[in-house]
Amino acid sequence: MKNIRIGTRDSQLAMWQAEWVQSQLTELYPHLNFELVSMKTKGDKILDVPLSKIGDKGLFTKELEQGLLNDELDMAVHSLKDMPTLLPPGLIISAFCEREEPRDVFLSRNGVPIEDLPEGAIIGTSSLRRKSQLKHYRPDLNFMDLRGNLQTRWRKLQESDMAGIVLAAAGVKRLGWEERITQILPEDMMLSAVGQGSIAVEIDEKRSDIAELLSGLNHIATEKAVKSERALMRKLEGGCQVPIGALGQVVKGEIILRGMVASLDGTRLIKAEAKGTDPESVGIEVANRLIEQGANSILAEIR
Ligand SMILES: NCc1[nH]cc(CCC(=O)O)c1CC(=O)O
């Protein structure tokens, strides 16, 4: 029986996602054997520094991509959110799996939603995107850097004097932690990260055999939405380490894309929106509208 190697990081969330891809493929192709190969990435090893300070693109993807290029892996499963907008030459995303809830959630230690937290409450997050938007909404809030996998972040919340933490709903749901969610943050308070909630499967562009297997996992509406978000990000030259939010939604085949750029202190926050059918042009249009409103000067300050 043919053996197909699926690469993944070894965090509990990454393993859940890779196992999900494995089970979908096994169901579609019961005569093939899909094997998981787990590895640690640089982003899993450096845990004491906020991602924005490491400033390295592909922190969670490089080792897996090396595996694809060296023919040690046949495919690599990633959270799309962790993937740079430009892939290494020779690699492509072969499937954008159907998106889970894209929004962020607040996990409050005492069950108190963000709007009712006491003045000066401390929120755990290292994400510039989450901090800037929360600062904009409530300038009195304080922040504590928080990295590590979801288990680590939950444990740190219990052990510290933080009021709560902000996480992607998708990860929280995949780990079965729904009951820990205090609130889903609405898009006008917290626009999610580019690609958030979608699982992407990356392959060597020469492996048309693998691409064929994966065609059954691609979800067209998700693909359109996240491609528009990634086009916006590419135009603004952001990584996941800048305060940019974007959410595309496909309604009757048309993409509606909203984008947001904020300053770190939350005093400036700009938004733009556009509609269309071509992901690339919708993404660029929203990016240009953000640039017209001063996005580049906000981003230049941060870089
Ligand atoms: N930055 C790490 C990361 N990458 C993807 C997810 C969640 C899963 C997803 O967005 O698909 C998370 C955790 C989080 O931000 O809470």
- Ligand 1 pocket test: pick from 8, 42, 79, 130 the residue with the most ligand atoms within 8 Å of its Cβ: 79
Q: How many whole angstroms from 171 Cα to the centroid of ligand 1?
A: 6
Q: How many whole angstroms from 1 Cα to the centroid of ligand 1?
A: 34
Where in the chain is CATH 3.30.160.40? 220-303
- Ligand 1 pocket test: pick from 52, 149, 196, 240 the residue with the most ligand atoms within 8 Å of its Cβ: 196
The pLDDT value given to residue 226: 98
Instruction: Render pLDDT for 124-179 as a digit per residue (tens, 0 to 9).
Output: 998 999 999 999 999 999 999 998 889 999 999 999 999 999 999 999 999 999 99
pLDDT score of 53 more than 90:
no
Nearest ligand 1 atom to alpha carbon 153: 16
> What letter represents residue 188's amino acid?
D
> What letter represents residue 65's amino acid?
E
The pLDDT value given to residue 54: 65
Report the candidate in 244, 229, 297, 248 with the shortest Cα–Cα distance to residue 129.
244
Report the candidate in 238, 206, 194, 14 with the shortest Cα–Cα distance to residue 91.
206
pLDDT score of 239 more than 60:
no
Longest dimension (CA), the chain: 62
ipTM over 0.85: yes
Q: Which residues are catalytic?
A: 82
Instruction: Render pLDDT for 289-303 as a digit per residue (tens, 0 to 9).
Output: 999 999 999 998 888
Q: How many whole angstroms from 43 Cα to the centroid of ligand 1?
A: 13
Measured from the Cβ of residue 180, the count of other Cβ atoms closer than 10 Å reads 16
Those residues with Cβ within 8 angstroms of residue 257's Cβ, 6 or more apart along the chain or in another chain:
225, 228, 229, 232, 246, 247, 248, 249, 273, 274, 275, 282, 283, 286
Alpha helices in the chain (DSSP H): 12-28, 42-45, 51-54, 62-69, 128-137, 150-159, 169-174, 208-214, 220-236, 279-292, 295-302
Q: How many whole angstroms from 290 Cα to the centroid of ligand 1?
A: 25
Ligand 1 neighbour 149 (Cβ under 6 A): no
Where in the chain is CATH 3.40.190.10? 1-97+199-218, 104-184
Level-2 CATH architecture, domain 220-303:
2-Layer Sandwich (3.30)
Nearest ligand 1 atom to alpha carbon 51: 1
Ligand 1 neighbour 170 (Cβ under 6 A): yes
Which residue's CA lies nearest to atom 1 of ligand 1?
A: 82
Instruction: Report the distance separating Cα 66 and Cα 52, nearest Å.
Output: 23
Report the b/e string of 78-111 with b at 16+ CB within 10 A. Answer: bbbbbbbbeeeeebebbbbbebbebbbbbbbbee
Topology of the domain comprising 1-97+199-218: D-Maltodextrin-Binding Protein; domain 2 (3.40.190)
Rounded to the nearest 5 degrees, what angle is found at the Cα of 119, between the Cα atoms of 113 and 125?
60
Nearest ligand 1 atom to alpha carbon 192: 10
- At 76 the three-state DSSP class reads strand
Q: How confident is the model at residue 1 (pLDDT cuts 50, 70, 90)?
A: low
Q: How many whole angstroms from 193 Cα to the centroid of ligand 1?
A: 9
Contact between residue 272 and residue 259 where contact means Cβ atoms under 8 Å apart: yes
The backbone torsions φ and ψ at residue 205, rounded to the nearest 5 degrees and listed phi first, read -60, -20
Nearest ligand 1 atom to alpha carbon 198: 11
Instruction: Report the distance separating Cα 53 and Cα 41, nearest Å.
Output: 17
CATH (one of 3.40.190.10, 2.60.40.10, 3.40.50.1000, 3.30.450.30) for 104-184: 3.40.190.10
The overall average pLDDT reported for the chain is: 94
The backbone torsions φ and ψ at residue 11, rounded to the nearest 5 degrees and listed phi first, read -70, 160
Ligand 1 neighbour 168 (Cβ under 6 A): yes
